[in-house]
Structure 1
Amino acid sequence: MKNIFLLSIILLSISCKAQQIYPLNTSFSDIQNHTYLKDTNNELLPFIGTWKATFDNKEIMIKVDKINQHLVESGRKIFYQDVLFIRYSIKNSQGTVIKSTMNLPIAQSGIKSIGTFPNQNLVSFVYQGGDCRYGWGDVDLQLVDSTHLKWNYQPEGVILTNINCPNGADTTIYLPKTSDLVFTKQ
């Protein structure tokens, strides 16, 4: 009987240490490891879907997907967060796909949300870049209305050498390098 009582106390104390849930925009400095930053206000929901635009005679299609409780390791912090990922397909004027990440698993798309700005209807992303991280930078999506959003991509400078990027690597930036490109929801 004493063992059953002791086991009950242990199980009760373990269950009381449930994962802490905070709103999505909680500062990382305010959270403990294994915390969950949840999209409690549905800030990410309007961005989810397939969107299309035309830029420089190319058709750009992006697919925005959400993963709940995505594991994030940032410095010394390990936590879970609701995250958006962008996959894309770019076709030339003849309709030939010149670059696509649509077949990649969602979390391997290379473009992941890092924060929201609800007062501006904006989600900020980081793009890991293509080969040799070429073209890495920031992408912002700003909701104009329920069927339109603005795209802003600003690549960072990268110095390529034969040491950090082998010959034959694709150093083309396929994403539209522009501000205020309007996408329409499909």
Structure 2
Amino acid sequence: MKNLLYSLLFTFTALSCKAQNPIISLFDGNEYLKTENAYYKDTYNDFDRFVGTWKFTDGNEEFTMILKKKVQHQFTYINRTYYEDTMYGEYQYIDENGNELVNTLSNIDNTVTNISEHKIFGSSIIPYKFLPKCEDCLSDERRLELSITDPNREYLNTNIVLRTIPNLTNATINDIELKLTLDYSIIPDGAPTLPRVLEYYTIYRLIKQ
């Protein structure tokens, strides 16, 4: 009887704690990191469109990216615990001469202490009103912005912006467009002078594999 009471008390406590996790939409929410134990959820499944293996090819040049979605991952920021749906990934880049400059694809399923240790990581959904003006933008379009780390230049603050676009030969599936952007970075003395992974602000079409 005593064990049963302990079991019921544990179950009630667990359910109570779970019930105290308010769900806030990643897209709609404007109270980010202001609520203890909040769960920032991909309520419209915007991430799902980008999950998979994607590849860009132009002659010898190749960029391959694997993206996955992690649901309700726990984070701690300035002593505040919260939960969040997030995207993470790894990539391979081969330049126009056939030289492999980066290949972290084998790390996609590695268990890491912090999910942000993956070379691609983030959860930023960009709504239409914040998109640059373009003729083919849809009125309800949403894009995904993630950080991407070059293992040879970890001091660079670079992001990729992704959008889905119709496949050229198969109307039932989508490709994605990728644009690499650079935030302000302090480049240290003696920084590597290796060729860059992709070109900044150039649009690349990636096809799902």
Please state which band the TM-score falls in when normalised by the shorter chain.
0.7 to 0.9
Number of the residue aligned with 1:23: 25
Write the mapping of 1:113-124 to structure 2, written as runs, cut at 5 A. 113-117=122-126, 119-124=140-145
Contact 1:111 1:127 in 2 (8 A): yes
Aligned-residue offset at 1:44: 0.8
Q: Would you say the 8 A contact 1:114–1:126 is kept in 2?
A: no
How far off is 1:100 after superposition? 1.0
The aligned amino acid for 1:125 is: L
Distance 1:94 1:160 in 2: 26
CA RMSD, 1 decimal: 3.3
**TM superposition shift of 1:13:** 6.2
Tell me which residue corresponds to 2:120.
111
- 1:90 maps to which of 90, 93, 112: 93
Q: Helix, strand or coil: the match of 2:164?
A: strand
1:158 maps to amino acid: S
Distance across 2 between alignment mates of 1:98 and 1:29: 37
Q: Map 1:1-186 to 2 at 5 A.
A: 12=12, 15-18=15-18, 19-25=21-27, 26-29=29-32, 31-54=34-57, 57-75=60-78, 77-93=80-96, 95-105=98-108, 107=115, 108-117=117-126, 119-131=140-152, 133-145=154-166, 146-162=173-189, 172-186=195-209
Rate the CA distance shift 1:171–1:135 in 2: closer, same or farther, 3 A. Answer: farther
CA contact (8 A) 2:89 2:108 kept: no
Which TM-score applies when normalising by structure 1?
0.76
Percent identity (aligned): 18
SS in 1 for 2:49: helix
**TM-score between both structures, scaled by the size of structure 2:** 0.69
Whole-Å separation in 2 of the counterparts to 1:177 and 1:55: 16
Per the alignment, in what secondary structure is the counterpart of residue 150 of structure 1? strand
Q: Name stretches of at least 5 consecutive residues in structure 2 with no aligned partner.
A: 110-114, 128-139, 167-172
Matched pairs, number: 182
| Kept in 2: contact 1:129–1:136 (CA 8 A) | no
